[in-house]
Amino acid sequence: MSDETKTPSSPKIGWRAVVTFLSCTAWLIFSKIYDAVRGPLEGSVAVGQLSDDPATYAAAREISTGNLIPNIAIWSLIVLLAIVWGTYLVKKFRELPPASVSTLLVLLSVLTMSACGPAKVEVLEEIDTNETAFLVPLEGNTDAQGKFMSEDYLNQNKVGAKRVSLPQRQVSTGRMWWAYKYVPTMRVVKVDRTPVTREWTEESTTGTSTKDDALAVESKDSIGFSIGATITAMIEEDNAAKFLYYYAGKPLPEVVDENVRSFVKTCVGQKFGDLPLEAKLGDEGQVLEAGCKDSKVKIFAECAETASKAFSERGISIVNLGYADGLSYDNPQIQQSIDNAYVAEMAIKQRENEKISQEQENERLLGIAQNERAMAEEFARAKEAWSSKIRLEIENKNAEARLVAANKWNGQTPTSILPQGTQMLFGLDQPAN
């Protein structure tokens, strides 16, 4: 058939098919390449969500969610195909009868709905104010994995209190194009910096846990005993990366109960093992060698300093470390003998105290008696002096009276003689000295 016999309205689709084939092929190639590199690419861009700059945060968030670049590619393809096929499809669509149009729309709807894969749900991670988090890529060059988990890398990707969107990529789960799922390409590793306090004691009612956590040690003379301990540890903000590097996401309470406790037990055990249970004294009572019972404070102070220095290099700050409760001996008879000796010592001290108290009471009573005697003697001397004074005054009065009488006597004999010794003669009847 010649070209003159063709209808003027018959469209040519040859060039449209070629453009469609090339466009779809280019899109498929781009999709495959992007799927291969999107994990590391979106992971590196996702760190921009930690920026305080709004523009940087918005761009990083949009790219890390995996929507921006694929959406640009797919919509570019759709626009191109619409330009190529738009006029042709509209014209063909108008030529179809109504029944065919309805059937075609139903088939397109069923095909579209049946070919849909799972929805891409955004994965969000929240970092609290007491946490320091790190964005760790899950995919990329295996030769660089050590660098990814190095302390410098973690410090560069440190997160504050924020909400972070994790990038995802599509993974096929079957043979059909709709059989796939989305997996994250990065992971948020959190370090809880909340201080942790532990009490390792023997009794279930006094310690942090209900089991026996006391530190079991023995003295230089092989006497076994246990001693409780209390500790408080925390992670400084600047040491979060160091802690994560050494303990790989292990929580601080678990590190304290396992690693720190083992270190402290070893340190305390070595220092107690170098000392006898009781201090050795010289002939004059001087201490020749310190004992375990008297060295608890010193030993724990030294171990606290050693542990603090050792774990600070691993990102843990030990706030305090000390002993709790006393020594609990493995052999109950040792404890009983110590208790008996202590009771006897207390009884001796009590008797000595009672003796001292009695001596002090005797001295007090003797002092009172001596004071009373001195007062009595002083009173007797005062009484005697008072009596002598009264007699002297009486004699003075009598002498004055005799003198007055003598001055008034005219030398005549009294007309009436009174008995000798009467006071009415004022003693004139007494013989003269």
Q: Are residues 204 and 71 in the same domain?
A: no
Indicate which CATH number applies to the domain containing 226.
3.30.479.30
Phi-psi region of 249 (alpha: psi -120 to 50; beta: other; left: phi over 0): left
Q: Are 236 and 272 in the same domain?
A: yes
Structure token pair of residue 173: 């789960």
| Residue 114 lies inside a defined structural domain of this protein | no
pLDDT value, residue 108: 65
> Domain of 384?
348-404
Q: Please identify which residue in the block is written with the tokens 């050795």.
A: 280
**Do residue 398 and residue 322 come from a single domain?**
no
Regarding whether 228 and 267 lie in a shared domain, the answer is yes
Section 400-414 average pLDDT? 69
pLDDT of res. 60: 66
Beta strands 287-289 and 280-281: pairing type?
antiparallel
Would 107 be classed as within a structural domain? no
Residue pair 204/211 in contact by the 8 Å Cβ criterion:
yes
Are 185 and 270 within one domain? no
Verify that 247 and 317 share a domain, yes or no.
Answer: yes
CA distance 433 to 431: 6
> Which residue, 261, 262, 288, 260, is CA-closest to 275?
288
Q: Which two tokens stand for residue 87?
A: 């006029």
pLDDT at residue number 85 = 78
Dump pLDDT digits (tens) for 68-77: 677 787 888 8
Same structural domain, 399 and 270: no
> Is a pLDDT exceeding 70 seen at residue 185?
yes
429 lies in some domain: no
Is residue 277 in some structural domain?
yes
HSE-CB at 274 with a 13 A cutoff on CA atoms is: 8
pLDDT (0 to 100) of residue 342: 61
Do 320 and 215 sit in the same domain of this protein?
yes
The pLDDT score that the predictor gives to residue 115 is: 55
Q: Which DSSP letter does residue 321 get?
A: E
3-state secondary structure of 169: strand
Q: Which residue has the tokens 């390409």?
A: 185
Contact, 212 vs 328, CB < 8 A?
no
* pLDDT tier, 39 (very low <50, low <70, confident <90, very high otherwise): low
- Same domain (yes/no): 394, 379: yes
> Does 90 reside within a domain?
yes
With beta carbons less than 8 A apart as the criterion, state whether 246 and 315 touch.
yes
Given a cut of 90, is residue 50 above it in pLDDT? no
The last residue of a domain, from among 298, 330, 362: 330
Residues 363 and 257 occupy one common structural domain:
no
In degrees, to the nearest 5, what angle opens at C-alpha 316 toward C-alphas 314 and 320?
140
- Calculate the CA 129 to chain-centre distance: 16
Residue 337 lies in a domain: no
Give yes or no: residues 183 and 255 share one domain: no
> 385 in a domain, yes or no?
yes
pLDDT tens, residue by residue, 115-166: 567 777 888 888 887 888 887 777 665 444 444 556 666 677 666 657 777 8
- In total, how many domains does the chain have? 3
Give the separation between CA 426 and CA 419, rounded to whole angstroms.
Answer: 12
Among candidates 324, 336, 331, which has minimal Cα distance to 227?
Answer: 324
Residue 410 lies in a domain: no
Kindly report, residue by residue over 5-36, the tens digit of the pLDDT. Answer: 444 444 456 787 888 888 888 878 887 777 66
pTM for this predicted structure:
0.56
Torsion of CA 368, 372, 377, 381, to 10 degrees: 130
Q: Which residues contact 42 (CB under 8 A, 6 or more apart)?
A: 63, 64, 66, 167, 169, 185, 186
Instruction: Give per-residue pLDDT as tens, 357-366.
Output: 888 888 888 8
Grouping H, G, I as helix, E, B as strand and the rest as coil, residue 18 is helix
Q: How confident is the model at residue 272 (pLDDT cuts 50, 70, 90)?
A: very high
Same domain, 272 and 187: no
In the numeric block, which tokens belong to residue 297? 């404070």
Least confident range from 176-180, 228-232, 375-379: namely 176-180
Helix 14-46 vs helix 54-64: angle between axes, to the nearest 10 degrees? Answer: 120
pLDDT at 9: 44
What's residue 351's pLDDT? 80
Q: Is the pLDDT of residue 188 over 90?
A: no
How large a percentage of the chain has pLDDT more than 90?
A: 16
pLDDT at 114 over 60: no
Q: Which residues contact residue 204 at a Cβ distance below 8 angstroms, ignoring those fewer than 6 apart?
A: 210, 211, 212
Across all residues in the chain, what is the average pLDDT? 77
The arithmetic mean of pLDDT across residues 245-254, rounded, is 88
